[in-house]
Structure 1
Amino acid sequence: MEMIKFLTPFRFYLNNICLQSCHVRQTVQLVGNQITLNRLHKSRKMSTCNTEEKGNLQKIVLKLNKLMPIALAEDWDNVGLLVEPSSPHNVSKMLLTNDLTPEVFEEAVNLKADMILSYHPPIFSPLKRLCQSDWKQKIVVKAIENRIAIYSPHTSCDSIKDGVNDWLLSAFDNESVMPLSTKDDPEFCYSHKVSLLIANGDHAKLMESLKAFQNVSSIFNVTTLEQEKVHLSFVCTKSAVAKIGCLLLEYNVENPVFSEIQKPPLPGVGVGRISKLGSKISLNKAVEIVKEHLKLSHVRVATSHGPDFNCDAENIKSIAVCAGAGTSVLRGVKADLYLTGEMSHHEVLSAIHNGSSVILCEHSNSERGYLSLLKEQLTTSLQEYNVDVCVSEIDADPLKIV
């Protein structure tokens, strides 16, 4: 955290802030507009209808966004409502799939589904045209023709508590589970902390003045010191810094410090997971658990420390997981076992020579089973809208071991 102190005389500095405050506000407003436009661009698929009755699609999307917040997705991802039929659009049947292939789309049509939730986004790279020669573009055209909405949660589901990665670990006897990297709370809007000294008789009046600012927290930390001084601190947004500086000119304050702060992390939310097991297990036992959990007859295994590794020895105490492609997420993580869908040849070599065994299940096999849990969650969440949620029976990983 970088500390920003007033090194010039305080009142001279604040007078400069006040003289430039209009410019500062315009700059912040411009930045705010850019942020808003970027967010609208990223989540343009989200509905903005709010007045007349438009069917229940918008209400369902709001529920989905609450359960799997778009703000928790990775920056490179494309999540949310991807195809939105013209209003009104009511959803009575929703089909869940890991990948939206032509075969799965035909399944949705035969089921008379009004909405498809595809874990992987069928629209990922920007589309410059919609033609029949490309299979993904063809699906989008058919979705529009058949008035079928398409929604994708992807990495939002990876990060949320009780999401894909927590499900992947749930088959083990976990003593503790933590994200490999955390996600900041998107609803925390404050960027700066202000701390100062003020006379005991003046701090209450200053606090009342600050409460009138919309971009200042209503929670104040107050500590009474000797010599009738009070230490006061609070948090605010970047746009409020100039206004607070002008306000402090009206009070006899000492040692004011403005410091940038980071957003607090959301507990249990983030990329990947690492588990400390309740008791050690062998690699063979871990393989058995994974195959049963994912309903697979085969997985690929690389043993730590080379061919002399004892697969029956109970030497696995920690497991790091990343559903899908775990190469970048698991790189450098200290764990006895890596569990993921796919890793490159060289990353597997690095893992086993750094002391981690590896289980690879193929990409979508490490994700698909989560859809059954998601179906239960959505059935409960969308109960008031009478939505029939079902999981695709055709969706499958394209790779087979023969």
Structure 2
Amino acid sequence: MNIADLITWFEEWANPAWCESWDNCGWQIEPGVLHQRARVLVCLTPTLAVMEEAIAFQANLIFAHHPLIFNPLKSLCTGEAIAEMVRLAFTHKIGVYSAHTNFDQVQDGTADVLAQILELQEVTPIVPTLPGLGYGRVGLLKPALKLQELLAAIQTRLAPPHLIFSPTADLQQTISRVAVLGGSGASFISTVVKTDAEVYLTSDCKFHQFQESRDRGLILIDAGHYATERPACDRLVQKFESLNLDWVQLSHKDEDFRQFFP
């Protein structure tokens, strides 16, 4: 399958027209690779380390969740990360394509994969957008779990370097309804409360957002941006493998950008 056909296949599933107005989904760099056989490196965030990895593997497409370019560029100067990415992309003929808020909404996208990892049932979007699409997922744990058991399951299945949760007096509280949203989901807290979820798993939550959740009777769990979105990239690799591409692999150079002192 060539790159143009791969992108057509993907966009029939996760149309870039569904992305938010502030977002930048689709081609970030297209250096004339559309008719080449697809050799794809999938990553969460396109960085110079990922570009160097793509060069080493002779990949011709970096397929990323996070956009390389969010805002209009005013200049490209030697030594700047994006400028170096562009230079290397054109030098080595490696395209960069991003699927962001369109990929967040679809089945087997970022939120849906999180719901599957926690084995949620009777799942619906937190915020429906179009039929069958939406941001986040909320569903039932069957059987219900104690909060301590749920935290242990999240730690085991997502392997976050640091798991933060709302102060609660009872780790033995039974949890049956859980909401999930990969990446920065704190802005959805008010909407999650209306779903009657007892727990909300997301990331990038601030001090007062934990306070707000506690005051509204919602247990907030922050597993980190990387841990909550990286599994969907792995699922994307599996989907690409089913297309019999020449080569596809999940990046080993993706970065969390955070370290925690013991």
Provide the TM-score with structure 1 as the length reference.
0.61
Find the counterpart in structure 1 of residue 208 from structure 2.
Answer: 346
Partner Cα separation in structure 2 for residue 137 and residue 358 of structure 1? 38
Matches of 1:299 and 1:387 in 2, distance apart?
38
> How many Å apart are 1:311 and its aligned residue?
0.5
Distance 2:259 2:198 in 1: 27
1:211-226, aligned counterparts within 5 Å? none
Give 1:77-96 correspondences, 5 Å limit: 77-86=23-32, 89-96=35-42
Q: How does 1:66-77 map to 2 (within 5 A)?
A: 66-77=12-23
Equivalent pairs: percent with the same residue? 28
Which residue identity lines up with residue 171 of structure 2 in the other structure? C
Aligned ranges for residues 132-211 of structure 1 at < 5 Å? 132-184=78-130
CA contact (8 A) 1:176 1:277 kept: no
**2:156 aligned partner:** 292
Q: Distance in 2 between matches of 1:329 and 1:313?
A: 23
Amino acid paired to 1:97: C
Which residue in the other structure is 1:319 paired with?
A: 178
- CA-CA distance at 1:88 after TM superposition: 6.3
Identify the residue that residue 218 of structure 1 maps to in structure 2.
Answer: none
- Residue 29 of structure 1 corresponds to none
Aligned twin of 1:358:
220
Cα RMSD (Å): 1.8
- Counterpart in the other structure of 2:237: 375
Query: In structure 2, what is the equivalent of residue 209 of structure 1?
Result: none
Which amino acid is the alignment partner of residue 317 of structure 1? S
2:257 is aligned with 1:401:
no
2:170 matched residue in structure 1: 310
Does structure 2 retain, via aligned residues, the 8 Å contact 1:94–1:114? yes
Contact 2:203 2:228 survives alignment (8 Å): yes
**Cα distance in 1, alignment partners of residues 100 and 33 from structure 2:** 25
- The alpha-carbon deviation at position 72 of structure 1 amounts to 2.3
Q: Distance in 1 between matches of 2:58 and 2:70?
A: 25
Partners of 2:104 and 2:34 in 1: how far apart? 31
- The 3-state SS of whatever aligns with 2:230 is coil
1:310 is matched by which residue type in structure 2?
D
Whether 1:98 and 2:49 are equivalent positions in the alignment is: no
CA distance in 1, matches of 2:161, 2:257: 15
Q: Which runs of 5+ in 1 are unaligned?
A: 1-54, 185-265
Residue 76 of structure 2: SS of its match in structure 1?
A: coil
Is the alpha carbon distance of 1:341 and 1:387 closer, same or farther for their aligned partners in structure 2, counting shifts above 3 Å?
farther
Rounded Cα–Cα distance in structure 1 between residues aligned with 2:199 and 2:40: 36
Corresponding letter in the other structure for 2:55:
V
Give secondary structure in 2 for the equivalent of 1:107.
Answer: helix
1:354 Cα deviation after fit: 0.6
1:57 deviates by: 2.5
Displacement after TM superposition at 1:99 (Å): 0.9
Using the TM superposition, give the Cα deviation of residue 117 of structure 1 relative to its aligned residue in structure 2, in angstroms: 0.4
TM-score normalised over the length of structure 2? 0.92
1:230-281 alpha-carbon deviations (Å, 9 max, x no partner) = xxxxxxxxxxxxxxxxxxxxxxxxxxxxxxxxxxxx12x1011111222321
Are the aligned partners of 2:111 and 2:136 in contact in 1 as well (CA < 8 Å)? yes
> Counterpart of 1:369 in 2: which secondary structure?
helix
Q: Distance in 1 between matches of 2:154 and 2:128?
A: 25
Secondary structure (helix, strand or coil) at the match of 2:152 reads: helix
Kindly report structure 1 stretches of 4+ aligned residues shifted beyond 6 Å.
none
Q: Greater Rg, structure 1 or structure 2?
A: 1
